[in-house]
A and B are shown apart, each in its own frame.
Chain A
């Protein structure tokens, strides 16, 4: 089974609203990363959060990590139509020794 699983699978919101996506995983991790993929393009790295960190910010993005619950969330504030994309979480753990991606959340932001 997948190490990382995103929730929800799809999210539809209006411009200006906040979007929250969640990621759960099963084993201990070294770090957790969030990526964005626009349709027909390669993945683009957004944020990396290490296991000893609880929160990181980058512009309109906020990522939290709760290692006790084995979960992370990605918050996009004041969303824009250009944020429409698929968002993936990926976990790196010593056990797997490689980055494992979840199935992604498809975000649609309507003007």
Chain B
């Protein structure tokens, strides 16, 4: 298996623009997680899905952030409109079960100017 795939790997955009991050989990995994990592706040869980259903979105910063998982092999995290404080590395991870080992993607490094 190729592991968790994320795209794009790097994104530079201007404040106010819409940003869409994409994730393909490992085939057969039932849980998918979106994290954000910054020097100041460390690794934060934004939202996670079980069997394509959002379970906990309490970590989503505000209404500008939204996430979808239309099927078992694809998820998106959207920021609209983006702000400079959204600059961070965004990781997607998947696991067989929400309490089990998580497999992380390489991350998307987002810079909002």
Q: How many whole Å from A48's CB to the nearest CB in chain B?
A: 6
Enumerate chain B residues within 8 angstroms of A30, measured Cβ to Cβ.
99
A11 at the interface (CB under 8 A from B): no
Enumerate chain B residues within 8 angstroms of A103, measured Cβ to Cβ.
42
- Among B4, B56, B91, B101, point to the contact of A48 (Cβ < 8 A): B101
A residues 17-44 near B (Cβ < 8 Å) are: 30-31, 33, 35, 41-44
18 A-B residue pairs with CB within 8 Å: A33-B101, A33-B102, A35-B102, A42-B93, A42-B105, A42-B107, A43-B104, A44-B104, A45-B101, A45-B103, A97-B56, A99-B33, A99-B45, A99-B98, A99-B102, A100-B45, A101-B43, A103-B42
B residues 54-80 near A (Cβ < 8 Å) are: 55-56
Enumerate chain A residues within 8 angstroms of B42, measured Cβ to Cβ.
101-104
Chain B binding surface SS class: strand
Enumerate chain B residues within 8 angstroms of A42, measured Cβ to Cβ.
4, 91, 93, 104-107
**How many chain B residues touch A (Cβ–Cβ < 8 Å)?**
20
User: Are B91 and A43 in contact (CB-based, < 8 A)?
Assistant: yes
**C-beta contact mask, B79-113 vs A, less than 8 Å → 1, else 0?**
00000000000010100001111111111000000
Contact residue range for chain A? 20 to 34
- Residue on A nearest B4 in the bound complex, by CB: A42
- Residue on A nearest B6 in the bound complex, by CB: A42
User: Are B43 and A98 in contact (CB-based, < 8 A)?
Assistant: no
Q: How many whole Å from A78's CB to the nearest CB in chain B?
A: 25
A residues 73-107 near B (Cβ < 8 Å) are: 88, 92, 97-104
Q: How many whole Å from B55's CB to the nearest CB in chain A?
A: 8
Q: How many whole Å from A24's CB to the nearest CB in chain B?
A: 16
Given contact pairs A42-B91, A98-B48, A99-B99, a sample of 7 additional A-B residue pairs in the complex whose CB atoms are under 8 Å apart? A31-B99, A41-B106, A42-B106, A43-B91, A45-B103, A92-B98, A99-B98
